């Protein structure tokens, strides 16, 4: 068994079994399927989000494996990814409690409780009208730089997200007082993978997903090249791994075609 309780949660639950306390939590349910429930809840008047994994069963595990997908069997990856990203200086989920018990992956019981990032707006919602009402150049440049930096740190540390879209970045509203210095939290880490080094194909998948999710907000080719330079850590575009970025571009364009049934409004980079 693995268990972590922050001081406020340890005090709230006392000597009770944390796994039983988690199951008593009630609130607004955001997801309840495939052995996982996600809900917003209150503990001593403070808002939290909790994900409870109750085991997905061998049938679901084999189904995922046959589809060449890694099954999500518990909260361990999300906990580990959040802790590592925070240690790297990336704004992300703050874990208040985590627990895991059971060896059988099909029946493993686990949970992760995180602080509610209440004063935020997803980048998907925040940028939705950019095409019609563009932001200032400095603000857009700052956000692009932030996402490129987070992506570079994450992949450089051996983490890939697997659900890497702008909707999974939450913009802190208080940071909008200074548009040149936005603050975003990276969330939904339950599918994240942690290794010593991020395989190129998974880095491509992440960046392509991020680009695909931002294709309707009015990005220009210059915006994309700015992201590429920062992510690559190159002062010039001459030394880029062009095959990597072609793969990112092609995958993002294909995702858009598949999802929207029409070509992307964004042009090819090369």
Give the tens place of pLDDT for each residue, 182-229: 999 999 999 999 999 999 999 999 999 999 999 999 999 999 999 999
Taking a C-beta distance cutoff of 8 angstroms, is the pair 142, 179 a contact? Answer: yes
Interacting residues of 160 by C-beta distance below 8 A, sequence separation 6+: 154, 192, 193, 198, 199, 202, 203, 205, 206
- For the chain, report the end-to-end CA distance as a whole number of angstroms: 51
The three-class DSSP label of residue 83 is helix
Give the tens place of pLDDT for each residue, 151-193: 999 999 999 999 999 999 999 999 999 988 999 999 999 999 9
pLDDT, position 269: 81
Report the share of the chain in percent with pLDDT over 70: 95
Q: What is the pTM of this model?
A: 0.94
- From the list 263, 259, 245, 261, the residue with the least C-alpha distance to 207 is 245
pLDDT, position 107: 81
Give the tens place of pLDDT for each residue, 42-76: 999 999 999 999 876 676 667 666 666 677 778 99
Helices (H) and strands (E) in the chain, counts: 9, 11
Distance CA 224, CA 248 (A): 11
The yes-or-no verdict on residue 88 having pLDDT over 70 is yes
List of domains in the chain: 2-115 (3.30.200), 120-260 (1.10.510.10)
pLDDT, position 105: 76
pLDDT, position 231: 97
* Partners of 95 in beta bridges: 114
Average pLDDT, the chain: 93
Decide which of 116 and 268 is more confident: 116
pLDDT, position 102: 85
Distance CA 190, CA 196 (A): 18
Q: Could you count the other beta carbons within 10 Å of the beta carbon of residue 169?
A: 28
Which positions are annotated as active-site residues? 163
pLDDT, position 143: 97
Distances (CA, A) of 8 to 25, 44, 115, 125: 16, 9, 11, 32
Taking a C-beta distance cutoff of 8 angstroms, is the pair 111, 121 a contact? Answer: no
Residues 123-136: what's their mean pLDDT? Answer: 95
Report the share of the chain in percent with pLDDT over 90: 81
The yes-or-no verdict on residue 254 having pLDDT over 70 is yes
Distance CA 22, CA 14 (A): 13
If 0-12 CB within 10 Å is exposed, 13-18 middle and 19+ buried, where does residue 266 land? buried
What DSSP assignment string belongs to 19-82? HHHHHH--EEEEEEETTEEEEEEEETTEEEEEEEE---HHHHHHHHHHTT------SHHHHHHH
Split at pLDDT 50, 70, 90, the class of 235 is confident
Distances (CA, A) of 145 to 17, 152, 184, 224: 44, 10, 12, 10
- From the list 204, 218, 88, 249, the residue with the least C-alpha distance to 144 is 218
- From the list 180, 5, 157, the residue with the least C-alpha distance to 81 is 157
């Amino acid at each position: 068994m693995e268990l972590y309780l922050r001081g406020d949660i340890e005090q709230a639950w006392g000597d009770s079994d944390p796994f039983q306390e988690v199951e008593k939590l009630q609130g607004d349910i955001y997801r309840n399927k495939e052995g996982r429930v996600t809900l917003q809840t209150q503990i001593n008047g403070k808002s939290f989000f909790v994900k409870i994994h109750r085991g997905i069963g061998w049938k679901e595990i084999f189904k995922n494996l046959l589809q060449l997908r890694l099954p999500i069997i518990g909260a361990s990856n999300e906990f580990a990814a959040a802790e590592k990203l925070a240690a790297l200086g990336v704004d992300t989920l703050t874990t208040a409690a985590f627990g895991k018990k059971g060896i059988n992956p099909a029946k493993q019981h686990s949970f992760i409780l995180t602080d509610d990032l209440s004063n935020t707006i997803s980048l998907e919602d925040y940028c939705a009208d950019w095409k019609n009402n563009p932001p200032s150049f400095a603000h857009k440049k700052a956000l692009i730089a932030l996402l490129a930096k987070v992506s570079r740190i994450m992949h450089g540390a051996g983490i890939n997200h697997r659900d890497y879209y702008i909707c999974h970045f939450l913009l802190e509203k208080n940071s909008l007082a200074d548009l040149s210095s936005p603050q975003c939290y990276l969330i939904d880490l339950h599918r994240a993978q942690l290794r010593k080094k991020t395989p190129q194909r998974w880095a491509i998948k992440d960046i392509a997903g991020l680009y695909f999710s931002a294709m309707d907000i009015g990005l220009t080719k210059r915006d994309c090249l700015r992201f590429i330079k920062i992510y690559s850590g190159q002062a010039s575009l001459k030394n880029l791994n062009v095959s990597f970025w072609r793969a990112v571009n092609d995958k993002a364009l294909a995702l858009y075609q598949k999802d929207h049934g029409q070509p992307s409004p964004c042009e090819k980079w090369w």
